[in-house]
Structure 1
């Protein structure tokens, strides 16, 4: 891994550039610019300064604002320094997908440029180009290139590590490691130093109160390098709730305001639990609270729309009782009528 470092000039290495132009073959669209601005709300991303072998990706959102499904046929790039990936091949009307731009930091150094062309063939043919830029510094290596937690059980604390290896100045130091979340706790310690080389161990702990769901974020490594002090390190994982709700999607269709609707919910847990509350904004939810903790609970629940109006997409939040309360969510959909 250290062979990848550039000992001759530790401050020189740069990122990639990816651009977006648009070719639209449909008379119904006012202009190419209008089309691309709507479908691609983000057209450029700056990765900043990154290290060799860092896993560096950005997901460009793609919004289907049309009445027919959108199909992303392909993604191509003009340079090997960047890889384009179709994240969502088919995007339903009024839904959102994404296209990923991955910068190949393991094999490229210095300032690079590339064009990622997104080809859409439904509901019409069009091409769009997206832009990324950044700076890959050759004097730093992350190993591994990201902190990956895989699957984590909510309510349990777990720690993963990476190492940053530097070659260059004798006085180079890590001075901070910053997280964007209170439940994601980073730390660092020096493990070796000598002959212009220094290694730091970077640790990240996911606390018990981490929210359920997939997370992808960055830690910011802060050094005493005045020219490029901040370097991102990607962190990702999946926090799995102790609770599993069935059905996950509660679809009521058309209902009247004040009309009670019965629904049987099955709650499964890794440990015996008691359900303390079931809440949904705009709805009154009634159920008989279990008196004994169980791993599988069958709840006959009554939902009544009390203040919700029109088309509804609301989370149903189920919480357990006890000192280590956990929660899980289902999705309620309905069309509320006054009478």
Structure 2
């Protein structure tokens, strides 16, 4: 037998041996000789499943901390990554116990809701970002009713329009809404404006709490004002807003200029009155506009006492919303500058 013949017989034997082993390879899905019609198995993915996404705490007293722990289980086959936690307000926090959660394992989300300055029915949402392709944003909710421990009546102090140089006082009562918690004390009381005086006194009815006197002083300058009264108690702190407007001898009527909705291509004119109710005559020195689209002029009706101000919205003003201010300068030492807002909507509008 030649060497070539021997080589051919050896190759035939090797081929027969490989084919004989093919069923064993095929059983394991690794047959190198028979191509498979199936693709690669899909990747393992996580699955985020919250145990209970809603926590109703019922009711809580204002100023207390509501705490709860949510659980999110990874019921998938891949690792679950906690990529971030966001809350619907700064008064609520959410902290996960694990950022990388194995299949079958659980991460806890510890939530704390600060009820200071909250009242009534409250809802807070905690959003947990994950790498779960089917549930990338897991929403958890805390809700309940926050009951006030103390209150101020009225809840704000509104002086309205007050003539310059007038001193006016308003009062409010601080009430204890949870008398069963023991002795109730109030104080100290403070505010920011030196033109508003705040005093604390006993309630006239003898009940626990305080009577707060708020006095607008004569020194308050002309124009709108606002302030906050901070009231300390042994329950929770209170904050009461104070606001109003001091009017001077010079008054604008109407207080703002509205052109309304106007078509483009024509001048629109509005007129308002500047009146002097003080004992001394005044002069209007200048009227300026914050927009080149609006011009204004002032002419005396009764010299020193009354002026007519004519305001013109010029044609050719581009379509859209227009807002601005007129600045009126006078020789009155207390009201050297008056501001009058104006607004308009320019263009053709179809309903």
Question: Which structure has greater helix proportion?
Answer: 2
Question: Which structure has greater strand proportion?
Answer: 1
TM over 0.5: no
Provide the TM-score with structure 2 as the length reference. 0.42
Structure label with greater radius of gyration: 2
Question: With CA pairs under 8 Å and 6+ residues apart, which has the higher RCO, 1 or 2?
Answer: 1
Provide the TM-score with structure 1 as the length reference. 0.44
